[in-house]
Structure 1
């Protein structure tokens, strides 16, 4: 395997690791003691970063749980956020900044409490997971977000996790195809932001 192929493999492996974390968030915060008399927590914490390559400073980050309950917070100057949401995994996240034609809207998914980033790659993975099933086929990410409670009732968590995981791998595979076909890697790799908009086969 030559150096160029090794570099491509390393890039794609890194991208896959970053996206697949969407479907496998740390659920340490989700554990609780069953000791008698201990009050059960009713919220879970999601933390992460909203970014488009650069941090999405001051973005409004909103999360919706499986019951349709939402909670929002404003990300910091570094794009980082921490939000306590009413328990009810899986969660769908939306980060928005700006208005009109300059508005940026990104999406992500969390199967449990923990760390989850909101980026163009996670947005693409959510879109790619939108199946053609009559009960789950929505025309846009905004519709998926609005109908999240219905979607989670029509599908099991395992089905959603599997769809997101598969979609994340498809996004990485498509990025690798673009790299292989269009990029002279002997001069290094460009900013991947435009590549994150490449449509996947399941869309």
Structure 2
């Protein structure tokens, strides 16, 4: 197979995209987590929040602060975060270990409350996964990886209707990539098709 020009063969002989080859942190995230199915409420909520905090920043910065985020938001426990008041928001604004953006912090609290609001129906995870497309992309180059899709546009609109914030179509597409709803591993990457959602070829 001819490898994509955007794939790098690591010392271990495995092909990864350029973005996942820049540091051991990104490489480990790519190798073990990114694109693998997440179907629990807490798991989807955490990744939704982190994608929101990432907006305008690098994903590596978020990963480096992930454990700080988990500590600050009580392990992204939905019920705990939903109960945060202005005092808690002020506490988080003083926490140098996370991203101190009041709008994003307040959005996280609202998103927890909105998540609780979905429990009497299908719940957050099922709600998000219900927008899985019939087919996943099969990008060969980084330029072919979409930044959004019809499904991410529709899901973003639906989440906003339910009271969620910082859930634009691009952020939501990144979430869909991260939790396995779509497989945008480059063709030729050793992780392509590894989620089990789309089959071995993920095409």
- The structure showing larger relative contact order (alpha-carbon pairs under 8 Å, at least 6 residues apart) is 2
Q: Does the alignment reach a TM-score above 0.5?
A: no
More strand by share: 1
More helix by share: 2
TM norm structure 2: 0.29
TM norm structure 1: 0.29
